[in-house]
Amino acid sequence: MRSTSARAEIEVAVDPLHAFTAFTAEIDQWWVPGPINYFRADVATGMEIEPGLGGRVLEHRDPHPALVIAEVIDWQPGRLLKLRGIVDDTETEIRFDPTVAGTRIRVHQYLLPGGTEAFLFWPNVLGWLIPYVEPSPSKGK
């Protein structure tokens, strides 16, 4: 049986607003480029999440127009980001919950009722955010 949902969870040592900002406004800084990490890796040049309700998740592709991957359907900085897939039939809910040590980021991506296509990639990529936001001795934070 094919999976119809995926979950991923990480904890980072920054506050929820910082984690949300890094996840959204800085996605191009932590998204790892590679041949299987884009829909069109042969022309992809980066990722972007446009801020606010109605914003889009874009895969930039030079010299071609950006590929719209998803639309922002809920935008609550430091709390919640919800995306509706354009390239597939999923919704993705990303929660930013405060913890004693920082923020727990929980992602749940699921196939919508009646949908047929689900690219359930978040469990493979969410961990890329950790080294980007966390202080390390070499970063001097």
CA dihedral of 137, 104, 18, 121, whole degrees rounded to 10:
90
Query: Domain 5-116+126-133 in CATH: superfamily?
Result: START domain (3.30.530.20)
Nearby residues of 124 by Cβ (< 8 Å), 6 or more positions away: none
pLDDT at 139 over 60: no
Percent of the chain with pLDDT over 70: 94
Question: pLDDT (tens digit, 9 = 90+) per residue, 47-85?
Answer: 999 999 999 999 999 888 999 999 999 999 999 999 999
Tell me what the mean pLDDT of segment 83-89 comes to: 96
